[in-house]
């Protein structure tokens, strides 16, 4: 079954607006990571939040983690056209040495 | 800074042929992962290696095999190719378990 699932699957906003993407997962994790992918390119790591953390910031990014609900959110503030990309969350199940990616949210930021 | 290098960038094969994809991780990264990403899909974990030993296996078909060599580069071998194998194949490396993954730009495999 899918470990990480993203919501919404597609999001279209205007430049300057905030974008919120959510991710849910099913099993216990050590940490959760968010990645960004431009079309046809490799994924780029954005931020990592550990299971004992509740919130983390990096520039215009804010990530929250609720382990009781097995969910995380990624907030991008003051969005720019260059933020247009797909965003994935990835979780590491406590058993196994791999990262499981959710289906991703395709974000379009319109100028 | 050095990044993960994958080759080739594009590969076109016919059904039932064999393909070999190569990955050169970032120096001093001890873990390598392979992922498959179909069009509009999320990356699916195939296999990982830690210090040249297979550490975990995901949804990798029996027709695929992979190994990591003494110089830490890794190869994904795919035999009896099927149309459904057409996808982007990514390699990623990390300096340690639970660290962020550094992805290459992928190999786009097209099976005709």
Q: What is the pLDDT of residues A31-62, one digit of tens each?
A: 999 999 998 899 999 999 999 999 999 999 99
Q: What is the pLDDT of residues B53-76, one digit of tens each?
A: 998 899 899 999 999 999 999 999
A1 pLDDT more than 50: no
Work out whether the CA dihedral A37, A38, A41, A47 comes out positive or negative: negative
Q: What is the pLDDT of residues B23-51, one digit of tens each?
A: 999 999 989 999 999 988 999 999 999 98
Q: What is the pLDDT of residues B86-98, one digit of tens each?
A: 999 999 999 987 7
* Long-range contacts from A5-11, C-beta under 8 angstroms, 24+ separation: A5/A102, A5/A103, A6/A87, A6/A88, A6/A89, A6/A102, A6/A103, A6/A104, A6/A105, A7/A105, A8/A105, A9/A103, A9/A104, A9/A105, A9/A106, A10/A105, A10/A106, A10/A107, A10/A108, A11/A105, A11/A106, A11/A107, A11/A108
Assess A100–B contact: CB distance below 8 Å, yes or no: yes
A84 pLDDT more than 50: yes
Write down the pLDDT at residue B72. Answer: 93
Write down the pLDDT at residue A92. Answer: 85
Omega before residue A34 within 30° of 0, cis: no
Contact B106 A103 (CB under 8 A): no
Write down the pLDDT at residue A73. Answer: 97
B19 pLDDT more than 90: yes
B103 pLDDT more than 50: yes
A2 pLDDT more than 50: no
Q: Which residue of A has its CA nearest to B39?
A: A40
Residue predicted with more confidence, B78 or B51:
B78
Contact A42 B4 (CB under 8 A): yes
Written as six digits, the tokens of A65 are 């983690």
A30 pLDDT more than 70: yes
Contact B43 A33 (CB under 8 A): no
Instruction: Give the mean model confidence (pLDDT) for residues A17-28.
Output: 93
CA-derived radius of gyration, chain A: 13
- Chain B residues with a Cβ under 8 Å from any Cβ in chain A: 4, 31, 33, 35, 41-45, 48, 50, 55-56, 58, 88, 90, 92, 97-98, 100-106, 108
Contact A99 B108 (CB under 8 A): no
Give, in degrees to the nearest 5, the angle at Cα A92 between B71 and A1: 115
Which of A43, A48, A95, A96 to substitute to test the interface with B, most B CBs within 10 Å?
Answer: A43
Write down the pLDDT at residue A85. Answer: 97
Instruction: Give the mean model confidence (pLDDT) for residues B6-15.
Output: 98
Of A2-6, A23-27, A37-41, A49-53, the poorest mean pLDDT is in A2-6
Spell out which residues of chain A touch residue B44, defining contact as CB-CB under 8 Å: 101
A contact residues 13-32, partner B, Cβ 8 Å cutoff? 30-31
Q: Which residue of B has its CA nearest to A3?
A: B44
């Amino acid at each position: 079954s899918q470990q990480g699932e993203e919501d919404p699957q597609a999001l279209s906003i205007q430049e300057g607006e905030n974008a919120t993407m959510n991710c849910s997962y099913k099993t216990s994790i050590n940490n959760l990571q968010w990645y960004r992918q431009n079309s046809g390119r490799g994924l780029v790591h954005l931020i990592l939040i550990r299971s004992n953390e509740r919130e983390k910031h990096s520039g215009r990014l804010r990530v929250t983690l609720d382990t009781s609900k097995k969910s995380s959110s990624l907030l991008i503030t003051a969005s720019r056209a260059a933020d247009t990309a797909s965003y994935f969350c990835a979780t590491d199940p406590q058993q196994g040495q791999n990262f499981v990616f959710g289906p991703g949210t395709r974000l379009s930021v319109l100028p | 800074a050095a990044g993960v290098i994958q080759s080739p960038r594009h590969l076109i094969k016919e059904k039932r042929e064999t393909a070999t994809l190569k990955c050169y991780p970032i120096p001093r990264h001890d873990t390598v992962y392979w992922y498959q990403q179909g069009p509009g899909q999320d990356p699916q974990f195939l296999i990982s290696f830690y210090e040249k030993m297979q550490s975990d296996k995901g949804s990798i078909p029996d027709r695929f095999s992979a190994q990591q060599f003494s110089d830490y580069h890794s190869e994904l071998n795919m035999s009896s190719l099927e149309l459904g194998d057409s996808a982007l194949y990514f390699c990623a490396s990390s300096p340690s378990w639970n660290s962020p993954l550094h992805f290459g730009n992928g190999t786009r495999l097209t099976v005709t």
